[in-house]
Amino acid sequence: MVHEHGVSRVVQHKDYYLRGGDMTILVENHLYRIHSYFFERESLFFRQKLMAGPSEDGEDRPSTESNHYTLEDVKSEDFARFLWVFYNPKYSLYEAPLDVWLSILRLATRWGFNNVKELTVRELEKLEIECVDKISIYHEYNISKLYLIPSYITIVKRDKPLSFTEGVKLGMETVLRVADARERARQRASESGVRTPSFDDFEDSDVEVLVREVFGLGSRPTSPTPAGASTIPNGSDPSTIKLGQPPKKNGATAPRNGVNVPVNGTGSSKHDPSPPVSSNNTSNTSNTSGTRHQTGGIHNLDREISPASANPSRNGQQGQRGPAGPPRQ
């Protein structure tokens, strides 16, 4: 079904407008009908906000096309990728490229889906990511630096110094720590009698000792997020990200069935989604304004604070995934 929404046409998302869904969300020009169960189960933030909504006084939460939530500052493609974690038809097989996992990591961190964030880090650890990019990503999303020891070692041991562009990505603190580790390595080589030491002369185990000293690192982490660390990037307090109260229902709504829900996309016999993969695999930053109009029973959630978004395709469409993972569009 297609509706007019401002200057764009609102359409049901081809994979995530589920027959058994109990919550309807508008993201850009796509309507999603999904199960609130996953959001209440996985995210304390959504659990508090959704449970404080109309469902607690006996009314159904927005679950129709004319009465729905609206998520602003979120791209439809990113939201579809995030939902793929819960509705993946391949069950435990989560094969996707870096840009897909960055979309998922961004929203998982923003909304406090800690289990999803841990899944994302496990999958990122399986990918080959350039050292500077990996350090930058893990720092941005407050992932334990213990995962970065091999990347730190590689940067410390390489012959050429960090470039200006790499320094901007890493930030002043990391650049200074890397320089400190390199200088300590040279000094120890000089003290041992080596006149013209090169970094090829150092064993990885010796450089690792220096890296742990300079960065103040201990043993291997058991969780991607450091203890006591905020799950929201840049230190934002989750309480500043507000989910507005949905309006009172103004028409017939679908009954809520978000407890015993069919998992992995069984809401429709044709449902077989894969994470949408943009033709542009780089994680460029962009500012998205989201939907700006309210009509009828539409309810806009309060604007949220978020990290920079990736640069996916505008229509949020996704292709059919082959055995090895989601294909390019």
pLDDT tens digits, one per residue of 20-30: 999 999 999 99
- In 3D space, the residue among 151, 111, 149 whose CA is nearest the CA of residue 129 turns out to be 151
Q: Answer left, alpha or beta for residue 322, where phi above 0 means left and psi between -120 and 50 means alpha.
A: beta
The pLDDT value given to residue 79: 97
- Whether residue 182 is predicted with pLDDT greater than 80 in this model: the reply is yes
The pLDDT value given to residue 190: 72
The pLDDT value given to residue 289: 40
Higher-confidence position of 288 and 60: 60
Give the pTM: 0.67
- Whether residue 77 is predicted with pLDDT greater than 90 in this model: the reply is yes
Average pLDDT for residues 133-153, to the nearest whole number?
96
The pLDDT value given to residue 92: 83
- Whether residue 83 is predicted with pLDDT greater than 90 in this model: the reply is yes
The pLDDT value given to residue 68: 79
- Whether residue 91 is predicted with pLDDT greater than 90 in this model: the reply is no
At position 58, the amino acid (one-letter code) is G
The pLDDT value given to residue 250: 43
Please write the tens of the pLDDT for every residue from 43-52: 988 888 777 6
- In the chain, the percentage of residues whose pLDDT exceeds 70 is 57
Distance of CA 277 to CAs 11, 79, 120, 127, 315, Å?
20, 12, 16, 16, 12
The pLDDT value given to residue 53: 57
212 neighbors 149 (Cβ within 8 angstroms) = yes
Contacts of 160 (CB under 8 A, 6+ apart): none
Higher-confidence position of 292 and 229: 229
The pLDDT value given to residue 67: 64
Which of 53-57, 112-116, 151-155 has the least mean pLDDT? 53-57
- Whether residue 273 is predicted with pLDDT greater than 70 in this model: the reply is no
Calpha distance 71→301 (Å, rounded):
6
What is the average pLDDT value for the chain, to the nearest integer?
A: 73
The pLDDT value given to residue 229: 54
The pLDDT value given to residue 188: 80
